[in-house]
Chains A and B, each alone.
Chain A
Amino acid sequence: MAIVNTNAAYPPPHHVLRDLAMQVQSTSTVNRAWLPVTEHVCNERGRVLTGIVATMVDAICGGLAAAIAAPGWIATADLSLHVAHPLIADRELSAAARVRRAGRTTVILESEIFADDDVDTPLAYCTASFSVLQRRESNPILVAGGSDAEPRHAFVGESSEFQTNAYEACGFRYLNDGVVEVNPSEYILNSLGGIQGGVLASLVDAATVNTLGNDFETVDLHLVYVALAKVGPIVAVPTVLQCTPNNGAVSVELRDAGVPRCTTVATSIGARW
């Protein structure tokens, strides 16, 4: 089964999904992706940003969920990412998404993330739930078909690459007290007109590190998407629940200051490896 987007309008030419430069390969049961690891998707210690991994798995899990939900469309309801080993790769990260449950209103998937050619030891594990929605005109059209042996191909057609740090490219602004905010722009919107679920996960990642300190890395992310983040600015406000010298638990609320309303509630764990 190939999952092909036949809607040329999304994503637009300058979009975070193109800059990720992912390649994908779909079979009837698994959606795989490969993410090139460059300095722009890594932190200062050379580890891939946890939010970028979340964006990758949100995209491939969403692609598989949408193919299953067709002719309906889907929206991410919740996403959890758990890092088992430091997110280090020489060349690329790969991810494989599988369906664990497909109901009429919800599709639940899991994904494992690997470094380079090692497919035995997952660096991270992800689960995600998608709500099944009625199709809108703007939604991509994902066509399922073809053979199981399709080659790797670009996720969104014409790819580009980050020219700067990925979070900077998304427009994240770092404020006092760990707060991070971003304005919605075409670059980071999904096909429903809200900020991409993976970018919101990245915002939570950024707020976690901003509040615990740059020597922490986010090792757990759990987001529940409550409403679309559309107007902005979208403000990630962290509250530290617990902190020890080596790890900290943070509650992060994402507020759409332009409405105003809560768009996402999240819990994250930061750790010093």
Chain B
Amino acid sequence: MHNGCDLDWCALVSVERVTSYSAEDGRSVGRFLGLSMREVTQPNGPVKLEAQSRVQSAVLDQHGFVHAGALFTMCDCVGGFCGGLGALPDGWVVTTNLMIRTAPTVVASPLVLNSAVLRRGKTSVVTSINVVDAVGAFVAAGTLTSAILVPSDGIAQWDRPARLDMPSEVGGIHFDDWLGISIRDGAVSIELTDELRNPWGIMHGGATSALVDRGAVEAVTHTTGVRERLRTNHVVLHFLAPAKIGPVRASGRVLGTRPDGYLVEVEVFDEGSDNRLVALAVATVAVV
């Protein structure tokens, strides 16, 4: 086992990856979003990635903006893949920390996502993510930190420059419905289906970020009564432990009201794993 990795994540790798998953599994999230990614690394430069996602109605919110949770998920996919390429040949990655700022704007399809490795350490990789629309307007920006782990069944090999095309399999289902979100008493939950797992066999970081998005919005609604035109425009998310069993529940606490929206702390629990805390986030929910 890799000397530098944290115990929780290592235990997960040796169990889930061997028993349930192959290298091709765990890409349902990317396929839903129709992500197409290609490496654009320059000689002697940091690993860089360019991705595109066609904007379909399935990922639009009620305001016609790209669904914040879907946007967070795209950023996790692209930043994570870029970080994974940066981790080679020593291992692959799981997201440990994600920060995304989004703009509530109507976008021109497709979205263009650029990611680059900012730092490659022994045990972690930091990547940047910038998202613009087809006319170059700002959509989102952020950073993603990943832990480098060594899968017990070997590290996936990639031809370089790497390319990963995941044609959309939306089939008319809206993102929220596809996630299977249910709401009760201001908290939101999802069942941890195979579609929502990543290649490691745990809950996909993008799915967790989407759950945080909904958890933050619901906390505002539950606390203030405001229901309309709410949108998460900023999130800082720490992944503390893998969600392995489910259902996975996000519950939020409104910390205060600011000129740019409601500040909400969100905790995410894996109810099937003794209600273990798996993620901690702070989000800003704006009235748009």
Contacts and interface: CB of A to CB of B under 8 A. Distances in A.
Contacts of A241: 101, 103, 138, 141
Contacts of B119: 226-227
Interface string B86-127: 000000000011010101000000000000001101011010
A265 interface: yes
B17 to A, nearest CB: 19
A251 B145 CA distance: 17
Contact of A267 (B4, B121, B141, B255): B141
Contacts of B189: none
Contacts of A247: 258-260
Interface residues of B, number: 40
A120 to B, nearest CB: 12
Interface stretch (A39-47, A98-106, A138-146, A164-172): A98-106
B231 interface: no
Contact of B6 (A85, A100, A103): A103
B238 A127 contact: yes
Nearest to B148: A105
Nearest to A240: B138
B12 interface: no
Contacts of A82: 236, 255, 263, 282, 284
A163 interface: no
Contacts of B103: 241-242, 249
Of A83, A227, A246, A247, chain B has the most CB atoms within 10 Å of the CB of A247
- Secondary structure dominating the interface of B: strand
A101 B241 contact: yes
B277 interface: yes
A103 B8 contact: yes
A78 interface: yes
Contacts of A190: none
Nearest to B103: A242
Interface in A173-195: none
B248 to A, nearest CB: 17
Contacts of A78: 97, 99, 145
A4 interface: no
B173 interface: no
Contacts of B236: 80, 82, 127, 222
B134 interface: no
B265 interface: yes
A273 B96 CA distance: 32
A202 interface: no
Given A129-B97, A224-B126, A273-B258, A77 B282 contact: no
A84 B143 CA distance: 23
Contacts of A83: 256, 258, 263
A216 to B, nearest CB: 10
Given A80-B236, A241-B138, A267 B258 contact: no
B8 A267 contact: no
B126 A226 contact: yes
Nearest to B9: A103
Contact of B280 (A110, A220, A246, A265): A110
A246 B282 contact: no
B143 A249 contact: no
A135 interface: no
B252 interface: no
B99 A219 contact: no
A23 interface: no
A130 to B, nearest CB: 12
Interface in A91-136: 100-101, 103-106, 108, 110, 122, 125, 127, 129, 131
Contacts of B142: 267
Contacts of A246: 259-260
A253 B121 CA distance: 19
B7 interface: yes
A236 B68 CA distance: 29
Contacts of B7: 103-104
B282 A104 contact: no
A160 B142 CA distance: 38
Contact of B263 (A110, A125, A262): A125
Contact of B145 (A104, A224, A267, A272): A224
B241 A80 contact: no
Interface of A: 77-78, 80, 82-85, 100-101, 103-106, 108, 110, 122, 125, 127, 129, 131, 219-220, 222, 224, 226-227, 241-242, 246-247, 249, 251, 262, 265, 267, 269, 271-273
Interface of B: 4-8, 96-97, 99, 101, 103, 118-119, 121, 123-124, 126, 128, 138, 141-143, 145, 147, 234, 236, 238, 240-241, 255-260, 263, 265, 277, 280, 282, 284
Given A265-B118, A265-B126, 12 more contacts: A77-B97, A77-B124, A78-B97, A84-B258, A100-B277, A100-B280, A106-B6, A127-B280, A226-B126, A227-B119, A251-B141, A267-B101
